[in-house]
Amino acid sequence: MAQKPKLDRYAKARIEEPNQQLPKSLLKPGSDPNSDLCYQRIFEEDNRKAQHLAEAIAAGAQLGRKVYRIRNKELIKVLEVDFAGMIHIHRVSKATIGLLADTETNKHSHAYLDLVGTVEEVNKAEELILNKVLKTYSSVCYPVILMPPTVYGYEMKIHENKVSRILGFERAHIVRMEMTSGAWIRVNPNPPHGCKEWERVVSVYGPRENVIKAVSLIHQTICEPMESFEAGNDFEPTCAELIGGKNSGEGSEPKGSKQTEEAEHKESGDVGKGKEAASGSGQTNK
């Protein structure tokens, strides 16, 4: 009986992109990590993985692949020191795990996870990643951990004296809003460049409907009873599709969309930086 609640929890902690079409190879190796989508690390110890995967498929297994967007602050929990956490997940699941980033994801403190293997291997890797992050949250209140690679983004400026209303005691309220809406919410602790000292930027990410719901919850939290707030259609797709640089149909830019500003976040920086000297055990960089 304990297995069903566990599976329900995993299901609520991820949002998969329907009918996701991915090519066999995401990109050419050696891309510039500062301007292009680039593998920061590939976790694979089997030098004959392609052959073994082909043999498994010939024997009846199904090829599986999933690509997700993850926040750096959650990714750090999975990686652990010297990438030990992700190496363990790779060894247990047998799935090949790619860690990717580009200019856009670094700007928003996000990254991509590329899981490849048999369906069973990919599902196992996904389960282990979710389990490791969910352990850091309450069993009844937790945000979405894995998002589709394509999401909408929305930014709003608030007065610094309203930040505590959004965060709540020990960040409990912001996590509750994230769980209710299915979106990610980030409050920049510093004023945006060129703006007033008391201004703070709240960034919201997720599928369009989830972002709208999160913005509504934020409005209810920070606005006084007589204040009005219009979210309108001011949403921008902050993520082009993982491949090709074109937005998906749902992610096409709506009228009136505004350009999001860069928000530095001390809690989690660019993926792969600061870990360059980590042990290469169990990893093959391509």
Sheet with 152-159: list strands edge to edge.
Answer: 184-187, 199-206, 152-159, 236-237
pLDDT of residue 117: 96
| CA–CA distance, 188 with 203 (Å, rounded to integer) | 8
Q: Among all chains, which residue has been given the structure tokens 């602790």? A: 189
| DSSP labels, 196-226 | -TTEEEEEEEESHHHHHHHHHHHHHHHS-TT
CA angle 144, 125, 80 (to 5 degrees): 75
Enter the DSSP assignment of 51: H
| Cα Rg of the chain (Å, integer) | 20
As a CATH number, domain 3-134 is: 3.30.1370.10
Select from 3.40.47.10, 3.40.50.300, 3.30.830.10, 3.30.1370.10 the CATH code of 152-237: 3.30.1370.10
pLDDT of residue 254: 31
Backbone dihedral angles phi then psi of residue 103, each to the nearest 5 degrees: -60, -40
CA angle 72, 264, 272 (to 5 degrees): 40
pLDDT of residue 68: 95
| CA–CA distance, 142 with 116 (Å, rounded to integer) | 26
Question: What distances in angstroms separate CA 41 from CA 63, 219, 279, 281, one per listed residue?
Answer: 22, 39, 12, 12
Q: Compute the CA torsion angle 57, 62, 67, 68 (nearest 10 deg).
A: -140
Task: Kindly give the parts of the chain with pLDDT less than 70.
Answer: 1-5, 19-35, 225-286
Q: Among all chains, which residue has been given the structure tokens 């060894």? A: 91
Q: Does residue 83 come out as left (phi exceeding 0), alpha (psi in the -120 to 50 range) or beta?
A: left
- Contact (Cβ atoms closer than 8 angstroms) between residue 286 and residue 28: no
- Contact (Cβ atoms closer than 8 angstroms) between residue 172 and residue 138: no
Name the residue among 164, 174, 173, 245 with its Cα closest to residue 203.
Answer: 174
Q: Does residue 194 come out as left (phi exceeding 0), alpha (psi in the -120 to 50 range) or beta?
A: left
| CA–CA distance, 154 with 236 (Å, rounded to integer) | 6
Backbone dihedral angles phi then psi of residue 66, each to the nearest 5 degrees: -135, 140
Domain boundaries, the chain: 3-134, 152-237
pLDDT of residue 85: 98
pLDDT of residue 24: 53
pLDDT in tens, 86-140: 999 999 999 999 999 988 899 999 999 999 999 999 999 999 999 999 999 998 9
Query: Taking the model in full, what pTM does it have?
Result: 0.77
Strands 236-237 and 110-118: unpaired
pLDDT of residue 119: 96
pLDDT of residue 153: 93
Backbone dihedral angles phi then psi of residue 284, each to the nearest 5 degrees: -125, 115
pLDDT of residue 264: 39
Same fold, 3-134 and 152-237: yes
- Contact (Cβ atoms closer than 8 angstroms) between residue 159 and residue 224: no
